[in-house]
Structure 1
Amino acid sequence: MTAFRRRYGASPLHLLLVLASFALAAYAGVRLLKGDTLGVALWFVGAALLHDLVLLPLYAVTDRAAQHLFREVPEQGQPRASVNYVRVPLFVSGVLLLVWWPLILGRVDHYTAYTGLQADGFLARWLLITAALFVVSAAILVVRRWHESAPS
């Protein structure tokens, strides 16, 4: 066992789990490409181009603007750690929007037929979750600033 660990760098269980994950990924890839290989390939290329040419520059500009707004000392230009109290809830809200956008925007007609549940209310829930994320983030920021300013 120690010779295997020395040569491989981890336990045999690690190797078994890595091989199982590769097998699962291969199975998913075969199933995904079984129907419309060209359509799936075009979707991946389009998604990569959209992300790299449109979304990534938008992320960068937005982050630079947030860092500029939350500068500690204007002369030094160093961003405050408080910019993360905006980044994190915005990121989580964005991921939720990315995952649930058809339901949030009401673009799904067959949801009720498949699930038996109503498709309304997703926009209100997403807005409430987003507001709650920002409120919790602001509360944590206030508590941390209060502890920093308290005499020790």
Structure 2
Amino acid sequence: MSTFRARYGAGPMHLAVTAFCLALSGAVVLTIGFPALWNTDAWWQSIGLWFVGAAVVHDAILFPLYAVLDRTLVARLGRFVNAVRIPALGAGLSLLLFAPGIFAHGSETYEAATGQTQEPYAMRWLLLVAGMFAASAAFYGGREILRTLRTRPVVDNPKRQHAPN
């Protein structure tokens, strides 16, 4: 077992799960067929393009970029880094979640279905992000205040009478 782990870099369960996922992905592609993965009317909406693009762009470009950015933030900000990292992650994930509304993608369909416009989405997202950063700053400030109160040395009052031993 240790020889396998030393050569492969992980346990046999990792290899089995990875092989299963690849086989399942291959079965899905073969079942739905390659034409279902490519939209000839709007090439940028193709599942295949987004899948390959996400793998290449994320793994080759974005991940190294934000790994270097994170290392730089840790080196410069120290303990304060999590007060920036967590709301920034929340901002990015909420942007991904609400991107169609924020960028008014499908605004005609949305307005026809609901009778409302998508105008408030961008401002609401910005308020959500501002709230996340404000809450993070408040928690960080509160934590720093508690930390300084706990580490403050106790000063002996010279006017106080000490009981004899």
The Cα RMSD (Å) is 2.6
Displacement of 1:66 after TM fit?
1.2
Query: What TM-score, normalized to structure 1?
Result: 0.65
Q: Deviations over 1:52-103 (max 9, x none)?
A: 12211221122122112213xxxxxxxx2x2111111000110011121122
Displacement of 1:114 after TM fit?
3.4
Query: What is the alpha-carbon distance in structure 1 between the residues aligned to residue 89 and residue 101 of structure 2?
Result: 19
2:137 equivalent to 1:130: no
Mapping 1:75-94, distance limit 5 Å = 80=79, 82-94=80-92
Matching residue of 1:120: 119
Displacement of 1:128 after TM fit?
0.3
Mapping 1:40-79, distance limit 5 Å = 40-71=47-78
Please say which of residues 140-149 and 33-42 is displaced more in the overlay.
33-42
Query: What is the alpha-carbon distance in structure 1 between the residues aligned to residue 137 and residue 64 of structure 2?
Result: 27
Q: How many residues align?
A: 116
SS at match of 1:36: helix
Shift in alpha-carbon separation, 1:141–1:46, aligned structure 2, 3 A? same
Query: What is the alpha-carbon distance in structure 2 between the residues aligned to residue 145 and residue 85 of structure 1?
Result: 12
Does structure 2 retain, via aligned residues, the 8 Å contact 1:33–1:40?
no
The higher radius of gyration belongs to: 2
Segments ≥4 residues shifted beyond 3 Å: 32-35, 114-117
Matching residue of 2:105: 107
> Could you list the runs of 5+ residues in structure 1 that have no partner in the other structure?
1-24, 72-79
> Could you list the runs of 5+ residues in structure 2 that have no partner in the other structure?
1-23, 39-45, 152-165
Query: What is the alpha-carbon distance in structure 1 between the residues aligned to residue 117 and residue 87 of structure 2?
Result: 27
Displacement of 1:120 after TM fit?
1.1
Matching residue of 1:142: 141
Which amino acid in 2 is paired with 1:108? G
Which amino acid in 2 is paired with 1:63? D
Identity of aligned residues (%): 37
Which amino acid in 2 is paired with 1:94? G
